[in-house]
Amino acid sequence: MKKMIYKSSVGDLDLSKLTRLYPAVVVDMHGEVAEMSLEWTELYSEKVKLKSYVLIFDFTPINAETKERVTLEFKTKDELMAVMQEVSQFFQK
């Protein structure tokens, strides 16, 4: 089996245990901080203050109550896309 360890800025991540992987944007909407999809942010960018881009590695087993997530934070969309490209290499045949 192919080695699935991604060496991230916060440590080694075993991608073989990944249940979900998704990008998001952390925004400030009138003092409330929330994670939103990239698409949502593009539609409503004039109404929110963008704080950072994030890539969320969710290792939570199906039906588990305790969330097991690792979040990588980026200042720019380009940095986020570069890491997404690196991670995608693990899933290509």
Q: What are the tens digits of pLDDT across the range 60-93? A: 998 889 999 999 999 999 999 999 999 999 888 6
Provide the H-helix boundaries in the chain.
38-44, 77-88
Q: What is the pTM of this model?
A: 0.87
Give the domain ranges of the chain.
Answer: 14-91
Q: What are the tens digits of pLDDT across the range 16-46? A: 999 999 999 999 888 889 999 999 888 887 8
Residue 41 and residue 29 in contact, taking contact as beta carbons nearer than 8 Å: no
Total Cβ atoms within 10 A of residue 15: 17
Total Cβ atoms within 10 A of residue 8: 15
